[in-house]
């Protein structure tokens, strides 16, 4: 124990003292950081801060001189322990939960002194993020981050409670495993004992949780740490936590119903928000056709419409070329967009569309009268027909893209999001959950000009698609689904292949030789020879769920010690070099 603490023991957290307003005169002991000091000569007020909130300490002419002198010496971020009596504040602070009371201090201990911090520890800071991440331990003292980290803890707590109550068993899986292809690059760990060989950090516990189903643990749950060596963005970190679950003797609807129950529970317990069930469902094809993405934000409209049949009558070369090349003509109606989007701003949208890969955008801007960017190609009545098909009214902006379907959908999907943000119509504190079902089993890789797996290789194809596996891969749909929240993919799930012959066929259809199959997945194929219950599961991104529930824009705001864009951590300056002797032990030489 710190010698300065002898004889004292904390009785209350700072934010909890507000419950004692009816018990004036009670003696309490609190601890925390100095948030701010006001010295008014014969009066000193110190606002003390801990993770529960703030409380004011007061000192006046009745305070013992030694204690008053200590209070005078206190500065921001000093660590204090204070004992005193709860009294009513003369000057109340309605912006502070404890603003009606204060503690008149009769014993003050300075436990640790602080140098002047590189930035002020305040909620609404303007300090650049790079500096805050360099001194992350100071940044984490700020109330917004503390609130986020504590809410993330609450989400994890409710997660365990819910799945325990529903018969799941929490089982830890290895952090060092065999390197197997799962979509992203592995983080590799060299072996000291087996020079030249490597462990991999798990991209997910996928194979192990399937083996646990084979072993008979029919409901598995784990808050699993996962690692992927891929480019970072706001909703991606190289290391993350996944609510990983697997269930035996179930159909997809059983897994989805279980997850819906979890979502309803966590939003109610943590945010006191009711989530309506069942959640909306869209097939992958429907989502792409209506929103241009498989993770649509459905809190606003601007849905994509296919206007090819109407537009192909117009003698506009751009439309004709798109149709000739097997593409389509589609549009969105940006309701009330004409007043916001001037010609100059529309030009910016067109440049953005070109950046995505489109040749441009055509438009109809209906301010006083409909103004069309391709009006010289229109015959009488054709503009009215287009406006009618798009349900356009005065004040609307219609944006049209003509190209190959993949380009058209991707472009309009991105443009609808830009327009919604620009018009500020996206409602806050609204949570639109959406199941995306019937995912494609294969996707075409433009670089290699081959069909590749869209999911991990253990995903079950839909029974009615089996005949297409070798002949028409574009028609094969997977027994796989995603859970999307407000445009963010929260989770992916699927039913797993449990027949070892079918699993072998899946590996072969992905271009793997017998030798590759045996080297990478031989142990799993072997396990299926001893019978397996039908099973499936999901991995829910805990970090992404916390990010949205906390109202944040970046995973860094809900991660205690995050990495930045280049996968480094600014505070500890990792990754870092190691000395040659450490490399020699591992049998490694740097090129």
Condensed to tens digits (0 to 9), the pLDDT of residues 162-212 reads: 999 999 999 999 999 998 765 678 999 999 999 999 999 999 999 999 999
Mean pLDDT of 363-373: 92
* Sign of the C-alpha dihedral computed for residues 360, 366, 369 and 370 taken in this order: positive
Mean pLDDT of 580-585: 92
Condensed to tens digits (0 to 9), the pLDDT of residues 42-56 reads: 999 999 999 999 999
Q: Considering only CA atoms, which of 438, 459, 464 is closest in space to residue 509? A: 459
**Is the pLDDT at 31 greater than 60, yes or no?**
yes
Distance CA 91, CA 100 (A): 8
Q: What are phi and psi of 73, to 5 degrees?
A: -85, -10
**Is the pLDDT at 72 greater than 60, yes or no?**
yes
Mean pLDDT of 512-516: 83
DSSP state of 100: T
Distance CA 411, CA 14 (A): 52
- Residue 41 is predicted with a pLDDT of 87
Decide: pTM greater than 0.75.
yes
- Residue 448 is predicted with a pLDDT of 74
- Residue 21 is predicted with a pLDDT of 64
- Residue 472 is predicted with a pLDDT of 81
Mean pLDDT of 359-369: 93
**Is the pLDDT at 417 greater than 60, yes or no?**
yes
- Residue 443 is predicted with a pLDDT of 81
- Residue 446 is predicted with a pLDDT of 75
- Residue 181 is predicted with a pLDDT of 65
Angle between helix 143-165 and helix 542-549 axes, rounded to 10 deg? 130
Condensed to tens digits (0 to 9), the pLDDT of residues 305-352 reads: 999 999 999 999 999 999 999 999 999 999 999 999 999 999 999 999
- Residue 154 is predicted with a pLDDT of 98
* pLDDT-based confidence at residue 3 (cuts at 50, 70, 90): low
- Residue 183 is predicted with a pLDDT of 64
For 189, 239, 514, 574, 583, the CA distances from 578, given in Å and listed in that order, are 14, 21, 39, 11, 7
């Amino acid at each position: 124990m710190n010698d300065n603490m002898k004889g004292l023991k904390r009785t209350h957290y700072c934010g909890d003292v507000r419950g004692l307003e009816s018990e004036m005169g009670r003696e309490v002991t609190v601890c925390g950081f100095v948030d701010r000091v006001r010295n008014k000569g014969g009066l000193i007020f110190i606002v003390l801060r801990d993770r529960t909130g703030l409380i004011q300490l007061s000192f006046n002419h009745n305070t013992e001189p030694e204690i008053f002198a200590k209070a005078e010496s206190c500065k921001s971020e000093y660590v204090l322990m204070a004992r005193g009596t709860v009294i009513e504040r003369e000057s109340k602070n309605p912006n502070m939960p404890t603003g009606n009371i204060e503690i008149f201090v009769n014993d003050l201990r300075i436990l640790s002194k602080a140098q002047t911090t590189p930035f002020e520890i305040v909620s609404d800071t303007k300090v650049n993020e790079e500096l805050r991440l360099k001194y992350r331990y100071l940044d984490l003292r700020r109330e917004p981050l503390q609130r986020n980290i504590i809410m993330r803890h609450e989400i994890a707590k409710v997660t365990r409670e819910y799945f325990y109550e529903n018969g799941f068993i929490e089982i830890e899986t290895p952090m060092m495993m065999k390197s197997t292809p799962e979509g992203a690059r592995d983080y590799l760990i060299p072996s000291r004992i087996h020079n030249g060989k490597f462990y991999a950090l798990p991209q997910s516990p996928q194979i192990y949780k399937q083996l646990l189903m084979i072993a008979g643990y029919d409901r598995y749950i784990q808050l699993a740490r996962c690692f992927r060596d891929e480019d970072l963005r706001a909703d991606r970190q190289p290391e993350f936590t996944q609510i990983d679950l697997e269930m035996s003797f179930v159909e997809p609807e059983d897994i989805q119903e279980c997850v819906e129950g979890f979502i309803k529970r966590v939003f109610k317990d943590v945010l006191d928000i009711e989530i309506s069930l069942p959640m909306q469902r869209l097939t992958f094809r429907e989502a792409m056709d209506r929103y241009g993405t498989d993770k649509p934000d459905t809190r606003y409209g601007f849905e994509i419409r296919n206007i090819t049949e109407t537009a192909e009558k117009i003698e506009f070369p751009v439309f004709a070329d798109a149709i000739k090349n097997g593409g389509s003509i589609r549009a969105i109606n940006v309701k009330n967009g004409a007043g916001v989007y001037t010609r100059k701003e529309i030009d910016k949208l067109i440049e953005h569309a070109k950046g995505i890969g489109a040749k441009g955008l055509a438009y109809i801007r209906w301010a006083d009268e409909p103004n069309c960017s391709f009006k010289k190609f229109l015959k009488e009545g054709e503009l009215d027909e287009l406006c009618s098909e798009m349900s356009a009214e005065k004040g609307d902006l219609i944006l049209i893209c003509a190209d190959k379907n993949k380009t058209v959908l991707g472009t309009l999907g991105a443009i609808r999001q830009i327009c919604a943000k620009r018009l500020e119509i996206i409602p806050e504190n609204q949570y639109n959950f959406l199941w995306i079902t019937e995912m494609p089993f294969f996707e075409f890789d433009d670089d290699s000009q081959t069909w590749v797996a869209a999911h991990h290789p253990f995903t079950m194809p839909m029974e009615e698609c089996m005949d297409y596996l070798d002949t028409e891969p574009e028609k094969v749909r997977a027994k796989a689904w995603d859970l999307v929240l407000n445009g963010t993919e929260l989770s992916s799930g699927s039913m797993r292949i449990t027949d070892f012959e079918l699993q072998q066929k899946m590996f072969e259809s992905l271009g793997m030789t017998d030798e590759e199959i045996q080297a990478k997945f031989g142990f799993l194929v072997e396990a299926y020879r001893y019978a397996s219950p039908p099973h499936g599961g999901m991995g829910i991104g805990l970090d992404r769920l916390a990010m949205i529930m906390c109202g944040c824009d970046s995973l860094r705001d809900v991660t205690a010690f995050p990495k930045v864009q280049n996968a480094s951590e600014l505070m500890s300056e990792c990754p870092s070099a190691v000395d040659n002797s450490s490399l020699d032990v591992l049998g490694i030489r740097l090129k």
